[in-house]
Amino acid sequence: MPELPEVEAVVRTLGPLVQNRRIRFVHVLHPIATKPQAASHLARFAQGRRIRTVGRKGKYVLLHLDSGLLTMHFRLDGQLLWFSNAKEFLERANQGENAVHVDLALEFGNGVLGFADRRHFGRVHAWESGEECPGLAALGVDALSPDFTASRLRKLLAASKRPLKEFLLDQTRVAGIGNIYSCEALWHAQLDPRRRANRLKPREALRLHKAIVSVLGRVLECCLHPAPDFRDPAWWFQGLETILRAYGREGKPCHRCAAPIRRIAQGSRSTYCCARCQK
């Protein structure tokens, strides 16, 4: 699942393509992409409106229109695609042997932006304002925003009895962190993912804050070099595996103490950690 750094890289790359461009037509090829909203509602809402800015909160892509808002959430496998014009889009989208899967597309004068998710978990929705979107309204502080301070995190931790890993995955507390980078932040902070959030000492909370900011910043740099290539349907972020210290490394030696990385189950997720140096 794309987490905050991947989505931020998408937003930074998408902005120059679509900002101040008018949506000439909305193509809905698979209506499931807009559920529970009706595809016809989204098409009527967006068509003819201009995208003023492209933003992000948590894992949401936000297309701020001259009136209203479009939100995109990639869930597990969603991605964005770019076609040079409507002719290319109509020839390639869901057509023939070399078809490119597209669920929904926004046509501009300079190209076509496609939203695709073969597993149909990703969603595109239309709203009169951000306050109308339940998912956005429920989000906690964004982990890359200036509001995400060490003192803010310490207060949030103190108010929660949940295990640290589950706390970090709770988007209503801190928005944008998922399974991969929660494991990485806890490894860097040398904290056991099973510890109760409210049991952390102030210096440990400070360590966790520093680890979260550092991990997300480092991953974002990786995601931007190279930047997302929306023209290549097979493109994905390169080099992330080289900076991971815990996630997906079950049985491999810890980079800090050489003990084997363990995989444990927390809820329905796999957590990767070092039993020796994460306390």
Q: Is 3 a catalytic residue?
A: yes
Catalytic residue among 3, 6, 8, 166: 3
Mean pLDDT confidence for 193-203:
98
Q: How many residues does the chain have?
A: 279
Does the pLDDT at position 192 exceed 80? yes
Cβ-Cβ contacts under 8 Å for 149 (sequence gap 6 or more):
209
- Say which residues have a Cβ less than 8 Å from residue 134's Cβ, sequence separation at least 6: none
Identified catalytic residue from 49, 59, 173, 207 = 59
Residue 267: its pLDDT value, please?
A: 86
For the beta carbon of residue 201, count every other beta carbon within 10 angstroms: 9
List the catalytic residue out of 75, 162, 256, 269. 269
Q: Give CATH 3.20.190.10 domain extents, the chain.
A: 4-137
Selected catalytic residue, list 2, 163, 193, 228? 2
Fold adopted by 4-137: N-terminal domain of MutM-like DNA repair proteins (3.20.190)
Tens of pLDDT, residues 238-278: 899 999 999 999 999 999 999 999 999 998 899 999 999 99
Model confidence pLDDT, tens digit, residues 215-239: 999 999 999 999 999 999 999 998 9
Q: Select from 3.90.226.10, 3.40.50.720, 3.40.50.300, 1.10.8.50 the CATH code of 141-274.
A: 1.10.8.50
Residues spanned by CATH 1.10.8.50 within the chain?
141-274
For residue 1, is pLDDT > 90? no
Instruction: Assess whether 59 carries a catalytic annotation.
Output: yes
Residue 98 has pLDDT above 80, yes or no: no
For 179, 220, 240, 252, the CA distances from 260, given in Å and listed in that order, are 20, 27, 21, 5
The yes-or-no answer on residue 44 being catalytic is no
